[in-house]
Chains A and B, each alone.
Chain A
Amino acid sequence: MVQELARGISAHGRSRSYKRRGIHFLKKKNNGEFPKHEKKQKTEEAPSKAPKFYPADDVKKPLKRKAVKKPTKLRASIQPGTVLILLAGRFKGKRCVFLRQQESGLLLVTGPFKVNGVPLKRVNQAYVIATSTLIDISKVDVSKFDDTYFKSTEKVEKKKSEDGFFNAQADEKKKELSPEYVENQKKVDAALLTALKPELKGYLSARFSLKKNDRPHLMAF
């Protein structure tokens, strides 16, 4: 980099700068002259007509947004097939298999359901510990489970009348899983179970817990 004595004043003189920039090489390539490029012709814009309609009030234009949303960066320790320990929620302590990262950044995970009751579900990376155990899941097809698959059905608007109130309470209790979901779970489970060794089945069905004298900051997972 050119040394600067002050802003805009380089340490090297004119001839030194010329040599350093290699302009003589450019001139050599171009028959002794500095290469010139033709100026781009400005295409004449069609004369714009005055608009017919002006809004009555000043309409504020929203600012342009150039930010691109990307899914959360996946930790290096989490690979497809890694066994993860869930840290919070209904299935805390359960060991489950990581399948893939969704477009939203959440991790698609399953027990398998047959082994430990964890269904196909999405989990946030921050609520998971990645172990070093890897399972070969090349035979499991999870491409069709994306974020829209997990979107909850819209809740029916509660009526404010008395009858509506009592009915709504009764409806809320039963949320039956559609048979499609059960089928999908079975398919994924079947594909996964072939890849699991018997010791791993026992491992996945056991829950993780910290014991006395366990120091998580010293543990290797």
Chain B
Amino acid sequence: MGGERIRLYVPGSIMGYKRGKSNQTNHTSLIQIDGVASKPETTFYLGKRIAYIYKAKTEKKGSKYRVIWGKVTRAHGNIGAVRAKFRKNLPPISLGGRVRVMLYPSNI
């Protein structure tokens, strides 16, 4: 193998929380999945698991990387954005950050 990088996820960016002008619902985050530009295109990604990966100072279970798992719940708007719910709400520092949308649970 020699360190070949296998990518089995689609990167996405965290746009923010579900919100109106002045109130935000922290339990739902809005994700923009790379390459998805319209609402019909998002149907493939519904239900897929999402991983928000971040680094921490202390090592836990052999790694300094930590994950918050979540899943794509529904489309958001017409331009391919998506709503996601995580096991723990995403921390506000994550806004603008990267997220990995996995290809499982798969339906192909």
Q: Chain A residues in contact with chain B, CB under 8 A?
A: 75, 77, 87-88, 92-93, 125-130, 207-211, 213, 215-218, 221
Question: What are 15 A-B contacts with C-beta separation under 8 Å?
Answer: A75-B107, A87-B8, A88-B8, A93-B6, A128-B106, A129-B103, A207-B6, A209-B5, A210-B7, A210-B9, A210-B10, A215-B35, A215-B36, A216-B103, A221-B108
Q: Is the interface of B mostly helix, strand, loop or mixed?
A: loop
Q: Are A217 and B41 in touch, CB under 8 angstroms?
A: yes
Asked whether B102 is an interface residue with its Cβ less than 8 Å from the other chain, the reply is yes
Closest Cβ of chain A to B71, distance in Å, is 12
- Size band of the B side of the interface? 20 to 34
| Complex CA–CA separation, A130 to B107 (angstroms) | 9
Contacts between chains A and B (CB distance < 8 A), count: 57
Given contacts A207-B4, A217-B44, A217-B45, contact A126 B105 (CB under 8 A): yes
Closest Cβ of chain A to B82, distance in Å, is 11
Given contacts A209-B6, A210-B8, contact A216 B104 (CB under 8 A): no
Q: Which residues of A contact B104 (CB under 8 A)?
A: 87-88, 126-127
Most chain A beta-carbon neighbours within 10 Å: one of B4, B36, B42, B106: B106
Interface string of B94-108 (1 = CB under 8 A from A): 000000001111111
Q: Are B8 and A130 in touch, CB under 8 angstroms?
A: no
Interface string of B32-53 (1 = CB under 8 A from A): 0001100001111100000000
Q: Which residues of A contact B44 (CB under 8 A)?
A: 216-217
Closest Cβ of chain B to A210, distance in Å, is 5
| Complex CA–CA separation, A215 to B106 (angstroms) | 15
Q: Is the interface of A mostly helix, strand, loop or mixed?
A: loop
Closest Cβ of chain B to A79, distance in Å, is 14
Q: Which residues of B contact A208 (CB under 8 A)?
A: 6, 8
Q: A211-B7, A216-B10 are in contact. List 8 more A-B contacts (CB 8 A).
A: A87-B102, A87-B104, A126-B104, A127-B104, A209-B4, A209-B7, A210-B10, A215-B36
Given contacts A130-B108, A217-B45, contact A87 B103 (CB under 8 A): yes
| Complex CA–CA separation, A210 to B34 (angstroms) | 13
Closest Cβ of chain A to B11, distance in Å, is 10
Q: Which residues of B contact A128 (CB under 8 A)?
A: 106
Q: Are B5 and A127 in touch, CB under 8 angstroms?
A: no
Q: Which residues of A contact B41 (CB under 8 A)?
A: 217-218
Pick the contact of B106: A127, A209, A210 (CB < 8 A). A127
Closest Cβ of chain A to B67, distance in Å, is 13
Q: Are A129 and B106 in touch, CB under 8 angstroms?
A: yes
